[in-house]
Chains A and B, each alone.
Chain A
């Protein structure tokens, strides 16, 4: 999602490969036993989280403690930037982890695959909630063997746009339904205002990944390498078209994107719902200038959203109080009250679908000129295309960090560049290339 994330992931990977010794965790994930209904909750659990997620836990844990006298929920804010270093070392050494940890969706598959037995399989107790959650997030939390996390917040992607630029160019944002429409609109806007279409870090494959998910695919498909699939070629070709028409504002990393947006360098930004928090927090002076439409589709009638970010809660196999850990997670995430409360207070967009019907989502947002942007994103959550995630995604990302800039900055052919990446990934991971 941003450079620091990538660095953290990288160091995590590095630590992982550098550690020759370490504890040997059980090979099979322990399954969470169905707690007997009569059992009274007691004892203490510790939860690691970060950022606003930690704030939400710290705010709500006392409520849970009040409902269940005698239990203690200890929330630790371990900071986001190097959280995965702590978690990786804890899993590797088989000690030092708390009962419950926060994981981003993109991290779950890697930990479930590389540390079998490190995270508890929630299937026995959580399976009944499957239909109630964002399907893309449910897919991200599970693999063929089990379910390793309970989804927390969703990150539906839409297209933020500058109302003033669209007006100046005489483009009706509601008329933009497909990427072809947007490319044409972008050319018109550039002519009228001199502004490019959106900010993208061309050295980073993140935009490519988001588009690929919109097309319903991850880096692997049925266990086979799919970074050179027709969908992948299509996603990268779209970016190349935008680049060739000089519609991409190339800025380095997260800070580059924030400052370019603040300076009004681009007319749109395809990104997730949490971007509203960045806009209102970092650039309050631009209030009234932004609007949101669903992401343009690749084909008319196709998915008009994707995902970028979002996290979940996992129970570690090191826990001594599984029942309490699960009871708290269930209370927090698999219900309307807390999910809506966390949306209102911490802007954590619920992955729990029934919560999205709450009237809060229908409130007009003054920053967006009175538009009901939360309703727009809420309606997209159930349409986020689920994709297959794997423990080799980090490696795929490293290869794409060469392939994507090769195409966008050095003019390589998308198919050739992706074929090469697929070949290398297959060789490194002993997977087959999907035909």
Chain B
């Protein structure tokens, strides 16, 4: 299997995606801290490899469902940074025209069927999209992203079962970042891994290092191939960690500074950079340029988004129902 860090073009794309996610979220974090962005947000800094590795296993016309912590999925699937930033900045030019915000960004054109504010909410929707593609005779695959916490929701179990009995073209990607808000996986489940929950439904389950973008990509590619061939769904558990708190209110009372620091040392981006430089696929200068370009892209996106008109309340009632 070809790895993401084997050739310069793919390695560059992979690194670009991860840096764009990192820089986007750092910018959002900063805007919130400075009181320039309202509402709430959930950052995935530290989890860039699972979003990127999984989305890079998909074709452009494949679909994803995402989560409240979904900026990374969105960007890795190809969303426009300016429209994302505009949405968070409450602008009319945002993906949802200011009606959704951070937790509801979707980009149907790039196959992103939507982030979701409800834990587990997107999982049955992914199964349904897979069913639609099957009924339409299209060989598209759906990746459903969710966290460890969602696997304790009934929606997860019902959706995985439906996908399994109907052999739907769905890949369930659990980003296990160890905590459902503050509640650790050690406390929330009596099994060792989330992958083994697949055994209860008759589908394969694998656990991979979620901070290794190549490992995630390899596992999801295998699962996507299987799904596309009509052999049914797979559960992929990617072990990762969010460096930031659950949301703005998080004081990190449930985890230690040492634990956070330990995971910062496993930075998925630095790790991939070191790998591709060591392999001689990219140079240190290339890496530096990619990082700088991502910084610039995010800065430009924020500047343009900020200049856009504010979301307009005049037609809110007309927006409730679709008309045709």
Do the two chains belong together in a single complex? no
Write the residues of chain B forming the contact surface with A, with a CB cutoff of 8 angstroms. Answer: none
Write the residues of chain A forming the contact surface with B, with a CB cutoff of 8 angstroms. Answer: none
